[in-house]
Amino acid sequence: MSKEFRPWKIDEAQLLPPSVQDYVPRDHVSRLIVSLVRESLDLSAILGSYRSGLGQPLSILGC
């Protein structure tokens, strides 16, 4: 059974705070970094190196 990391959704609402974005100012450099990672960074080589039996099965994640 294939395993993957649980996806992290920065925009997903949390119990406290309601959103991670509530603590991050609009002009903070971290927003630029998240944007670059989401849109520009090819993580396929990194993700491809994780082939161990650890992690969550894809079926649990609804993928």
pLDDT of residue 63: 47
Distances (CA, A) of 63 to 3, 16, 44, 50, 53: 11, 26, 17, 17, 18
CA angle 52, 58, 60 (to 5 degrees): 120
Q: How confident is the model at residue 36 (pLDDT cuts 50, 70, 90)?
A: confident
SS3 category, 50: coil
Model confidence, pTM: 0.44
